[in-house]
Structure 1
Amino acid sequence: MNENQRVQQVLSGNTSAFTYFVETYQDMAITIAHRICGNMQDAEDVVQESYVKAYKNLHSFRSESKFSTWLYRIVYNTAVTQTKTQIWTDSGEMQAESTLFPVDNSLQVDMEETERKEMVANILQKMPKGDALLLTLYYMEENPVKEIAKITGLNDSNVKVKLFRARKIFKELWVKRYKEALFMEET
């Protein structure tokens, strides 16, 4: 069953069908809200409020975009409104996100993956919120530029420019933070 059919089920009175959307998109919704809010409690409140808004406004969902894009836009707007933050200018630090990447199967790979997650999370929390959000949406959620533009309300060109700058900031912070570690590994 595709998502449009699930939307129609909910609109036809099968309210339990909405559970699919909660279970499918909750992790990324929390990640988006957390990137903007800066703490997990507020992020959870934002996501809960966003799901209520999505449910109440499901009739306005147009199948022109993916459901996830529509929902993430609601999460984004709710988080920005609730925190009253200027997402593209605020450079406050955020708590580490612990679910950035899936974990692989072997112990050695698990340890390396965990270490890598911590390193990436460390850098992302030091970045401006908007930049960290764009990198999360693009690389971790694998959203194309057009979808990110719909989620954030930016135009495609703006997303590309901001992604370019975010990558540059990430790289600079990465090199600054882990330069010594890289040097020690090479010797």
Structure 2
Amino acid sequence: MEMDVNRLVKEYGKMVSMIAHRMIQNREIAREAAQEVWYELCKSLHCFKGDSELSTWIYIVARRTVGRYAESEKQMKISEAEYFRSLPEIEYSGNEEAKREWIKERCDWCITALNHCLGNDARLIFIFRENVGLPYRQISAIMELNESNVRQIYNRSIQKITLFMNDTCPLYNPNGACKCRICKPVYSINMEKEYAMVHRMMKLADLYQKFEKELPRKNYWEKFLL
């Protein structure tokens, strides 16, 4: 099947980069993983026969490639996340506009780190559901797991992360008992104005997708766009 590589990169490049970013904390390794996904895709384009949805095939390659890089990432316990947040607070000095972007970047990193309280497969399922917004049927095909197992793994993951976010994160729950290391800078900006769409009863997906919109992932293979 003939495919336009430039179109694929435009349509899926940032999404692949986002998956690598959420799966891998080290930015350089995440970049390398995303680039290898596109190397593998380009190498095997001729093998795609249209037996599945194109996006499913792309995400399967991403799952296998990024998953291999993520194997060295340490799974984190919730207690470790709580310990990290109890370390000395981080202060920020700079103008208000720069502060907002700095806070968003730090919070984005925190969310990626929190994903590491999940195992690799659970983290991928969570990302495909929350960040990419895929249906369970497609995630089942990508992960090569029974759909009921995918639902079960996702439900356990969402309960685990939501409980922690609800107790601690002021972006997810303004009434949470925040112990974040950037707590003071976060509360120093107009949270209601900055995150008007984020409130206690909101789906966790809305928070994740807001970060994806405001902090778009770099398409590491833009050199394909000739």
TM class, shorter-length: 0.5 to 0.7
Query: Residues 73 and 172 from structure 1, CA distance in 2 versus in 1: closer, same or farther, beyond 3 angstroms?
Result: same
Stretches of structure 1 that go unaligned for 5 or more consecutive residues are 1-6, 11-16, 95-110
Indicate the larger mover: 118-127 or 159-168: 118-127
RMSD between aligned alpha carbons? Answer: 3.4
Q: Compute the displacement of 1:135 (Å).
A: 2.6
Aligned residue in 1 for 2:205 = none
* Contact 2:59/2:142 (8 A) holds in 1: yes
Distance 1:166 1:183 in 2: 20
Moved more, 150-159 or 128-137: 128-137
1:125 is aligned to: 113
Taking structure 1 as the reference length, the TM-score comes to 0.66
Deviation for aligned residue 1:134:
2.3
Question: Using the alignment, how far apart are the partners of 1:133 and 1:119 within structure 2?
Answer: 20
Give the whole-Å Cα distance in 1 for the aligned partners of 2:14 and 2:66: 15
Map of 1:91 onto structure 2: 76
In the superposition, relative to structure 1, how do residues 65 and 44 fare at CA in structure 2: closer, same or farther (>3 Å)?
same
The residue type paired with residue 139 of structure 1 is E
What is the CA–CA distance in structure 2 between the aligned matches of 1:72 and 1:36, rounded to whole Å? 13
Residue deviations 1:49-98, cap 9 Å, x none?
Answer: 11121111112213232212211111111122234348xx823799xxxx
Write the mapping of 1:3-152 to structure 2, written as runs, cut at 5 A: 7-8=1-2, 10=3, 17-85=4-72, 90-91=75-76, 122-126=110-114, 127-128=117-118, 130=120, 131-152=122-143
Unaligned 5+ segments in structure 2 are 82-99, 178-198, 200-226
Partner letter of residue 169 of structure 2? Y
1:129 shift after superposition: 5.1
Q: RCO greater where, 1 or 2, for CA within 8 Å and sep 6 or more?
A: 2
% identity of equivalent residues: 22
Would the alpha carbon gap of residues 161 and 149 (structure 1) be closer, same or farther in structure 2, given more than 3 Å must change?
A: same
Per-residue CA shift, 1:21-57, capped at 9, x if unaligned?
1121111111212232322211221121111211111
TM-score, with structure 2 as normaliser = 0.56
